Amino acid sequence: MSNLTPHTGGGAAAPTDSDNRYKAVQHKLKALGQAMDLAEGELGTLLLGMQRNAERAEGLAVDIANAEVDRKFVEMTNQVAVALGGAAVEVHRLHETATEVSGLAHDARRTHARLYEALDDIRSSRPERTPKPGFLVR
């Protein structure tokens, strides 16, 4: 049996709102990257456990067959092994996707900083207030 427990809290990304200020976007991208890093690690652990359980179920089916137990138990155990193997394949795909999204979030954060950090520094350091975006587009 697995000792994994559902993870609640701590890994949630920043709320998606209409706050598009530089620091808010940086925070959201950082939170997304961290959440995906956490998911990547947990999915990796889940994947290893599922693969191990599938191998154990397959071995158990062989042991049951060698013990000449009723054939239906061998078939049921084989079906469990196949189901676990199939689920492990899908968890592997999900793990790869989480890895990709994590990398993209970190890349997006770096790109956003490269493009807008200097502008934010200028806007943040001057004493005059800056009009809201879209103010001059009338």
pLDDT, one tens digit per residue, over 75-119 is 999 999 999 999 999 999 999 999 999 999 999 999 999 999 998
**Vertex 113: Cα angle to 119 and 137 (nearest 5):** 45
| Residue 4, domain member (yes or no) | no
| Residue 130, domain member (yes or no) | no
Q: Which domain holds residue 35?
A: 23-125
- Our count of domains for the chain comes to 1
DSSP readout, 36-89? HHHHHHHHHHHHHHHHHHHHHHHHHHHHHHHTT--HHHHHHHHHHHHHHHHHHH
Of the two residues 93 and 125, the one the predictor is more confident about is 93
| Residue 94, domain member (yes or no) | yes
The rounded distance, in Å, linking the Cα atoms of 112 and 25 is: 8
pLDDT at 3: 63
| Residue 16, domain member (yes or no) | no
Structure tokens at 6: 């559902």
pLDDT surpasses 70 at 12 = no
| Residue 137, domain member (yes or no) | no
Does pTM surpass 0.75? no
